[in-house]
Structure 1
Amino acid sequence: MTSIWSYLKEGTLPEDKDEARKVRMRSAKFVIIGDELFKRGISTPLLKCLTATQAAYVIEEIHRGICGMHSGAAQWRPEHSELDCQDYVQKCRECQQFGNTHRQPPEVLHHMMSAWPFSQWGMDILGPFPPPKGQLKFLLVAIDYFTKWIKACPLAENVQRFTWRSIVCRFGIPHTLITDNGRQFIAQGFEDFLCELGIKHLPTSVEHPQTNGQAEAANKVILHTL
């Protein structure tokens, strides 16, 4: 970026002809505004080019800042800085101490496809937690298979009310709901509620709870965040 800055700011180019030609071609995608370098595109907003110090601060803030969740480098989708992100994550003490360790043997993956946003949800109950005020020890968790949007609330209300208020009233009537065989999910009242709305209920097999793996993955994210 230093060579592009020098060319746009002062008109200077490297002595090597091939390198100078590359700088001229690349500089067409950049612009200087208020002594700051930005990358521009046809249908994208201006992207600020960061110095090494600024980039280090951004990586730290994304990973462990006030809104950070200690996410891995692969989730950031950085451009030309993937190695820097991986290096930072590998040196994070909390990630190395509390990071996920896969202990299950590998097996063939079976995709659970969702045709459009909010058409297929997975639902599960997470807990128990140490009893807080109100003695609510469980969380009711739902996740959309298409957008990965997560909804969670303390289990103070029944599953039917949660489904109506947090899913149907906000995102419309889904096509499919995937749950385990918990008594809250296979209760006759809840089954009648889903049937009345035309929602297809798919309870998982007792011997294969991985069918509701999307909800289990959401539970893992919530636990690590807490």
Structure 2
Amino acid sequence: MVQKATSADPMLQRLIQYINSGWPKNGKSNQNVALQTFFHRRESLYVVQGCVMMMERLVIPECFRKKLLKQLHRGHPGIERVKAIARSIIYWPKIDDDITEYIRSCTSCANAKKSPPQAEPHPWQTAEGPWERIHLDYAGPIDGFSYLVIVDSFSKWPEMFQTKSTTASSTIGFLTASFARFGVPKVIVSDNGTQFTGFEFRSFCEKLGIIHFRTAPFHPQSNGQAERFVDTLKRSLRKIQEGEGLRASAALQTFLQVYRATPSNLLEGKSPSEVLNGRKMRTTLDLLKPSNILPQPPVAAKPCQARKLAAGSLVFAKVHKNNTTWKWQSGVIIEAIGNVHYNVLLDAPSGRKRQIRSHIDQLRTNDTGKQKKTEIELPLSILLGDFGMTTNAEFPDENSSFVSAQEFPDLPDDPELPDDPELPDDEPEPIQPGPFSAVHGSTLARSKPKRNINPPQRFQDYVLS
């Protein structure tokens, strides 16, 4: 159809003749205005199958231009969108002007068009710093909830509170919570809602030294910072709830997190978090970045007199009960855990001993009794004790952990249990060990007598029954 219409269009036929045979030296010599327009684009014109092409755009004959304008405006997109579509497909002289005139004359677009501003918008004076001037407005109700919107004019940082009450008392409570985080602003801008015009809110502002500006009634553009954000909030909550199936409260937090971390052209490419807090918010998208965490140099500790306790030392340990009371209880150090923690075996009049872990600040030395060597059962020795075997950790040495049985060659083959006057009366009597004990790998030797200690119960930390 375009090919047939091109062959019947005198202007396009003359254009094809110029393309094939050559252009005149001066395009102004041609009286046709359309041909003068093509003269300036002559390097981009060529003929394909009897149709004129300008680069990748098809030159449309005049008889089809209105029909194509209607097709381009299908769905009633705006002027700029229609121009963007046309610039990649078709061309004729002054096509942009024809698109603008056609869409402006569209009755459907005119009926749905926004009202023009009655006067040139007068912007608020730029704030000098973060949280200096804030704008307030209530959004909703949305799904039975109203939302108090607080927007910082400098950083565009939003604060939002979901509520079912929009009274002055509720509003003051939400503002007090925000002021506790970011400080008291100099100026508050709001509409003429009843919660903002009463005596209670006026007294609240006077008490904190805040200047309260109220915009003109029925003119929300005067508080455009908050009004624009309210519109963004409503649409975003609807999309998040429908798209992700979240409740209203969860959708609100998702919206705030994304909005606060998103760079804005109004903030020179920075996010509200960067402008207000001086740092970027960390999001899950940061996991895609390579880790650049370097080991930090060790911080020099302040010189202090460190207390150390050796294994086998008698101590008093601070034992807490129900997180309310505590008392000193005697015990013996089993082993050191790190620099300041110790495993302590507590004494008990009933004979039931209990193992706890204590900080050095919870321990003090026991000078009331004679220091004595105490047999310290490790988990491995407890396990081997069930099989009549013991480890080489039978004799604690004062300078090292333990001394093996091979370091006592003077022991008789069948040692008898010696009398130990230091043992208290309530201690259980020692029993004869099994026939063998494991020492130094595969070497077997007779074990010393040891106490009959049952293994600890599972899931009871630091308790020996």
TM-score normalised by the chain length of structure 1? 0.50
The letter of the residue matching 1:187 is: G
1:125 to 133, 138, 142: 138
1:159 to 165, 168, 171: 171
Matching residue of 1:112: 124
- Supply the distance in 2 between the matched residues of 1:216 and 1:206 (Cα, whole angstroms): 14
Q: CA deviation at 1:109?
A: 2.2
- Supply the distance in 1 between the matched residues of 2:234 and 2:164 (Cα, whole angstroms): 19
The letter of the residue matching 2:153 is: Y
The letter of the residue matching 1:155 is: T
- Supply the distance in 2 between the matched residues of 1:146 and 1:211 (Cα, whole angstroms): 17
Where does 1:137-176 land on structure 2 (aligned, <5 Å)?
Answer: 137-156=145-164, 158-166=170-178, 168-176=179-187
- Supply the distance in 1 between the matched residues of 2:202 and 2:217 (Cα, whole angstroms): 18
Unpaired stretches in structure 1, ≥5 consecutive residues: 1-82, 84-100, 132-136
Q: CA deviation at 1:206?
A: 0.8
Q: Does 1:197 align with 2:208?
A: yes
2:195 to 166, 184, 207: 184
Secondary structure of the 2:128 match is coil
Matching residue of 1:6: none
Matching residue of 1:38: none
Q: CA deviation at 1:208?
A: 2.6
Secondary structure of the 2:161 match is strand
Q: Structure 1 or 2: larger helix share?
A: 1
Secondary structure of the 1:126 match is strand
The letter of the residue matching 2:158 is: I
- Supply the distance in 1 between the matched residues of 2:222 and 2:115 (Cα, whole angstroms): 15
Residues 167-213 of structure 1: CA deviation (Å, up to 9, x unaligned) = x1111110100001101111211110110000000011114331111
Unpaired stretches in structure 2, ≥5 consecutive residues: 1-83, 85-111, 238-465
Where does 1:1-226 land on structure 2 (aligned, <5 Å)?
Answer: 103-106=114-117, 107-113=119-125, 114-131=127-144, 137-156=145-164, 158-166=170-178, 168-226=179-237
- Supply the distance in 1 between the matched residues of 2:209 and 2:158 (Cα, whole angstroms): 22
Q: Contact 2:220/2:227 (CA < 8 Å) preserved in 1?
A: no
Percent sequence identity is: 33
Q: CA deviation at 1:103?
A: 1.2
- Supply the distance in 2 between the matched residues of 1:170 and 1:217 (Cα, whole angstroms): 24
Q: CA deviation at 1:156?
A: 4.5
Over 3 Å counting, the alpha-carbon distance change for 1:140 and 1:102 in structure 2 is farther
- Supply the distance in 2 between the matched residues of 1:209 and 1:154 (Cα, whole angstroms): 22
- Supply the distance in 2 between the matched residues of 1:128 and 1:172 (Cα, whole angstroms): 28
- Supply the distance in 1 between the matched residues of 2:155 and 2:115 (Cα, whole angstroms): 26
Q: CA deviation at 1:159?
A: 0.6
Q: CA deviation at 1:108?
A: 1.3
The letter of the residue matching 1:118 is: W
- Supply the distance in 2 between the matched residues of 1:130 and 1:118 (Cα, whole angstroms): 30
The letter of the residue matching 1:124 is: D
Q: Which has the higher contact order (CA 8 A, sep 6+)?
A: 1
Over 3 Å counting, the alpha-carbon distance change for 1:104 and 1:119 in structure 2 is same
Q: CA deviation at 1:217?
A: 0.8
The letter of the residue matching 1:117 is: P
Over 3 Å counting, the alpha-carbon distance change for 1:181 and 1:171 in structure 2 is same
User: What is the aligned residue count?
Assistant: 121
Is the radius of gyration larger for structure 1 or structure 2? Answer: 2
Q: Contact 2:188/2:210 (CA < 8 Å) preserved in 1?
A: yes
- Supply the distance in 2 between the matched residues of 1:122 and 1:105 (Cα, whole angstroms): 24
Q: CA deviation at 1:104?
A: 2.8
